[in-house]
Structure 1
Amino acid sequence: MLKLRSFSTSCIKRAIFDTSPLKVLKPLQSYAPTFYTHGDNIKPLYEPSQFYSQLKSNILQAKERVFIAALYIGHTEQELVDTIRFALDKTPTLQVHVLIDCLRGTRVSKGQSSATLLLPLIKDYPDQIKVSMYHTPDLTGILKKTLPQRFNESIGLMHLKVYGFDNTVMLSGANLSTDYFTNRQDRYVLFNKQPELSSYYHDLLKLISNCSYQLAQPTQPTNPSYQLLMNQGIADPVKESKKYKKQVNSLLQQFISTQPRLESHPTHDTAVLPVIQMGPFQIRQDEKLTLQLLQIANQQTDWTIDLTSGYFNFTEKYKSFILKTRAKFQFLTASPEANGFFNSKGVSRFLPPAYTYIEKKFYKQVKSMNRQDDISIEEYKRPGWTYHAKGLWVKFKNDDLPYLTMIGSPNFGQRSSERDLEAQAMVITENIELRKALHKEVNMLHQHSQLVSNETFAKLDRQVPNGVKIATAFVKTML
């Protein structure tokens, strides 16, 4: 059990021991491995530009390993690829491992894709870099042959956002493209001096990568421009879907069961609990941990939970627990204008009104249960910006500083629970400076938000077409 740290001021010490956060949250440790550290080693970042600068800086400083898991690398991100190239050239012992989604990573935009962008690195540094591309086992047969690009991604994706550099890890919800580096708000938390936590994520990335296609040079200097090869002994996710699912489930179960039980040190004031959610392989660690947190919240008084997701589409389980939990909830989601699909072409332009429809239904449920005084919804609206942040923060009683946060890739929605591969971490801390930084983080997000009310949904531009309402019921698990 994490030992409580002594603080110099009696009021702070009394507040901690009165609330006993680590004692209250102790049951959560049965759902995940626990990595102990000092809160000064954990640092939230606040802006996309900080994320990009930190990413490049850490790549260049790495001596032994860089491992990256992201949905995709944008087709225009030559500067990021050149940064990796420079790091490989500067440090011949450096090993770089990139894991991206196969469907998104092979989607061509203006003649380029993540695969073609990274291929020159494989050609020039074959002994130093590996690029793996996960393919969902749920896209097979006639579905695989008929669903066009973009639409096929709704079946399932590799959605992890983990950026590792030697003994440092950065967890985020952000992908690697220009908007995520400039004007698409997300969350980013840096974990410095964490060899055990870094190895955990490195091993997880290796596991998924070994069960993915490997990007390789073409055997012939003609089309196709690259090869995707499966490792020997691993079933093909498209041709042998059932066998593949069983195989990966077994490997993931083994990975979870063999995580070490680490001991805390008297100077430790923070615990990090990493969890994964991989619906295609029946791994629901993240969901179990989150629901257990809500159960604990229901047993307490005067808790406030800030919960944010760019896409408002909670699972029925989460909604049920939230509506009956004795806690104050403050939700923050993207306004239609801050949704990345706003004014997009094709069918995707109907996604913002679909999320509006889901949000409105939940708002009506809150009112019908007479919980509008302790459950509020705000929408992020910032001119020229989109919103993609996800996670939660927990505050006890009348304390404005969070004791707990969850950071990572899940959106708490249907897709995250059932279709995609997700990873996040729960951070429980008594470190005052870290708690202040988390308070600043959530406050900065709310600075650009507006409270939802009856008037919000009565506006003309919030009227949802009947066709969208009907379609939403059928595709809700894909949103």
Structure 2
Amino acid sequence: MNKLIQAPRRLARRLVSPLRRPQAEVWLESQPGFAVPADAIEALHGAPAFRQALLDGIAQATRRIVIVALYLQDDEAGRAVMDALYAAQAQRPQLEIDVYVDWHRAQRGLIGKHKSPGNAAMYREYAERFGDGVRVWGVPVQNRELFGVLHLKGFVFDDTVLYSGASLNEVYLGTGGRYRLDRYHLVRDRALADSMAGFVQQYFQGSDAVQRLDAAEVPSTRSLLPAIRGFRQQLQQARYAVPAVTLAKGEVAITPLLGFGRTDNQLNEAVLTLLRGAKRKVVLLTPYFNLPRPVRVVLGQLLRRGCTIEIMVGDKTANDFYIPPSQPFRTIGLLPYLYENNLRRYARAHRRQLASGQLTLRLWRDDGNSYHLKGLFVDDEVTLLTGHNLNPRAWALDLENGLLLRDPDRKLLAQRHAEWAELCRHAQKVDDFHALESPRSYPPEVRKLLRRLSRVRLDRLVNRLL
């Protein structure tokens, strides 16, 4: 009976859904932003190009370096970055250098490895050896890492922004024989650089919760709990300083967006509005196929409306938590199988759209390398660069950001096509859900854990937290 009563309402929503498209266009045109010449925006291809741009930015900066990442790892690549930062400061003592990493992640070892003081020990070691020229800050977004981390992205070198979802270690920088593929963009614009550097100076350095990790005495998390609560409240209201924008011919509007919390989340709302406003085609990139429910709902609406959708995800073997069968299994190794199971169910539910070509699923795999792409392409005019994983954890718990690029004259279209072609080099189309491995074929330890989780419905909780 309830279904019959609600049927006219559901039908009405479907009939009026196209009316949302003009509303989305109005929203997009009303967004503030920075007018940037198209030739000041460059997409880089591959981890080596990212590493070179990072080291060049450090070597050439004369006024400021601001690095924001989930972590700067104590490994060969991470130490090369630290060496470069201290060398730059020694050559140019007036250079201001600030590195911001997640407070919790910096003070633990790698998952599944022996207990250790984490990357913070390296920061203290460098400070003891070379002095106070490079400041490394820990940002505690939540009381515990499980409930949210610093997932903000972006490096500022004077007036240039290097934006990527990557963190800093051997795999992300491609120095240890393997790489983790991400997206990498250079934007040469002083106003955008000022806004991104100004945000962390205002909200991070201005908070008692954000403390130096390279100091000899580091306060305990427990002692910071009142300050962390206040910090979270500030972040709920935080925004980048962005002016109103009027584009000249050939310019691109770039809007930095912040995302934090379940409500009043600027980045989440932008994702949904961009999807709702799509006219012809959406390309969605995510490393972990575990889409938040609001995103799944809007994608379903787009398919019913006739819009074409492409989704690129990593194969389970390209997941950074994947454990080859030749190695001892650990519980964390269950995650890639959970994500593949999600994808298989999605492909099965949309097998008609897959068969018609309206929906395309691409699975990325390149030997032992891993996949970390995020973001959106909407039609030919809009791109979202972000570190947001487009999963429930990023949607509600982590501190995220993104750069919204609006390109009405399509000056970046050729660059965008080149980036997409490069990303697709190691991606294969999934023609049918049968192309994905069935859970019946998973290793015995994985099958056992999946059955145990689904029996008590804990798999849903795991999907929300990881």
TM-score in same-fold range (> 0.5): yes
Aligned to 2:309: 329
Alignment partner of 1:173 is 2:157? no
Change (3 A) 1:120 1:33: farther
CA shift, 1:411, in A, is 1.2
CA shift, 1:268, in A, is 4.2
Structure 2: which amino acid aligns with 1:339?
Answer: N
Aligned to 1:4: none
**Following superposition, which runs of at least 4 residues in structure 1 exceed 6 angstroms of deviation?**
21-24, 368-371
Alpha-carbon separation, structure 2, partners of 1:285 and 1:377: 28
Alpha-carbon separation, structure 2, partners of 1:468 and 1:332: 27
Alignment partner of 1:318 is 2:262? no
**TM-score if structure 2 supplies the norm length?**
0.82
Aligned to 1:159: 151
Structure 2: which amino acid aligns with 1:37?
Answer: V
Where 1:306 maps in the other structure, the secondary structure is strand
Alignment partner of 1:186 is 2:182? yes
Where 1:384 maps in the other structure, the secondary structure is coil
Change (3 A) 1:195 1:22: farther
Within the candidate set 214, 230, 255, 2:211 is matched to 214
Alignment of 1:247-262 (within 5 A): 247-250=234-237, 252=238, 255-256=239-240, 259-262=242-245
CA shift, 1:160, in A, is 1.3
Kept after mapping to 2: 8 A contact 1:99/1:209: no
Which has the larger displacement, 202-211 or 346-355? Answer: 202-211
Alignment partner of 1:355 is 2:360? no
Kept after mapping to 2: 8 A contact 1:38/1:267: no
Alignment partner of 1:375 is 2:371? no
Alignment of 1:97-176 (within 5 A): 97-108=98-109, 113-123=118-128, 128-139=133-144, 153-176=145-168
Alignment partner of 1:227 is 2:218? yes
Alpha-carbon separation, structure 1, partners of 2:230 and 2:154: 27
Structure 1: which amino acid aligns with 2:32?
Answer: P
Where 1:427 maps in the other structure, the secondary structure is strand
Where 2:243 maps in the other structure, the secondary structure is coil
Change (3 A) 1:394 1:376: same
Cα deviations across residues 266-295 of structure 1 (Å, max 9, x unaligned)? Answer: 344211121111117x44101111111122
Alpha-carbon separation, structure 1, partners of 2:381 and 2:347: 27
Residue segments in structure 2 that go unaligned for 5+ positions in a row: 1-20
Cα deviations across residues 16-53 of structure 1 (Å, max 9, x unaligned)? Answer: xxxxx9998452244x5311111110001110011011
Where 1:377 maps in the other structure, the secondary structure is strand
**TM-score if structure 1 supplies the norm length?**
0.80
Alignment partner of 1:291 is 2:272? yes
Alignment of 1:261-280 (within 5 A): 261-264=244-247, 266-279=248-261
Residue segments in structure 1 that go unaligned for 5+ positions in a row: 1-20, 140-152, 219-224, 396-401
Kept after mapping to 2: 8 A contact 1:309/1:391: yes
Alpha-carbon separation, structure 1, partners of 2:223 and 2:359: 46
Change (3 A) 1:466 1:45: same
Aligned to 1:455: 434
Aligned to 2:451: 466
Change (3 A) 1:376 1:260: same
Kept after mapping to 2: 8 A contact 1:75/1:114: yes
Kept after mapping to 2: 8 A contact 1:116/1:226: no
Alpha-carbon separation, structure 1, partners of 2:437 and 2:372: 25
Change (3 A) 1:244 1:174: closer
Which has the larger displacement, 126-135 or 49-58? Answer: 126-135
Cα RMSD of the aligned pairs, angstroms, is: 2.8
